[in-house]
Amino acid sequence: MKALARWVALLLFAFIALQLFFVGRIAAMVVIDPESTTFQRSEAYRIARDKDKLRWRQRWVPYSQISDHLKRAVIASEDGSFANHEGVDWDAVEKAWERNTKAQEMAAKRAMLAPKRAKPARIIGGSTITQQLAKNLLLSGERNLLRKGQELALTMVLEQTLSKQRILEIYLNNVEWGEGVFGAEAAAQHYFRKSASRLTAYEAARLAVMLPQPKRFEKTPGSGYLASRASTIVARMRDAELP
CATH number of the domain residue 200 falls in = 1.10.3810.10
pLDDT of residue 123: 45
Examine residue 115 and state whether it is found in any structural domain, yes or no. no
Is pLDDT of 15 > 90?
no
Examine residue 205 and state whether it is found in any structural domain, yes or no. yes
pLDDT of residue 129: 95
Mean pLDDT computed over 133-149: 83
pLDDT of residue 95: 66
In this structure, of 72-76, 110-114, 115-119, the range with the lowest mean pLDDT score is 115-119
Mean pLDDT computed over 18-42: 91
Examine residue 103 and state whether it is found in any structural domain, yes or no. no
Examine residue 17 and state whether it is found in any structural domain, yes or no. yes
Is pLDDT of 5 > 60?
yes
pLDDT in tens, 52-72: 777 889 999 999 999 999 999
Is pLDDT of 127 > 50?
yes
- Residues with Cβ < 8 Å from 140, sequence gap 6 or more? 38, 42, 147
- DSSP type of residue 196: G
Euclidean distance between CA atoms 203 and 42, whole angstroms: 28
Euclidean distance between CA atoms 42 and 8, whole angstroms: 30
Examine residue 44 and state whether it is found in any structural domain, yes or no. yes
Q: Identify the three-state secondary structure at position 132.
A: helix
Domain count within the chain: 1
Is pLDDT of 122 > 50?
no
Examine residue 108 and state whether it is found in any structural domain, yes or no. no
* Range(s) of the domain holding residue 193: 2-82+163-237
pLDDT of residue 191: 96
Q: Where are the beta strands (DSSP E) in the chain?
A: none
At 125, the pLDDT band (50, 70, 90 cuts) reads low
Examine residue 136 and state whether it is found in any structural domain, yes or no. no
In this structure, of 41-50, 78-87, 103-112, 145-154, the range with the lowest mean pLDDT score is 103-112
126-151 in b/e form (b: 16+ CB < 10 A) is: bbbbbbbbbbbbbbeeeeeeeeeebb
Examine residue 129 and state whether it is found in any structural domain, yes or no. no
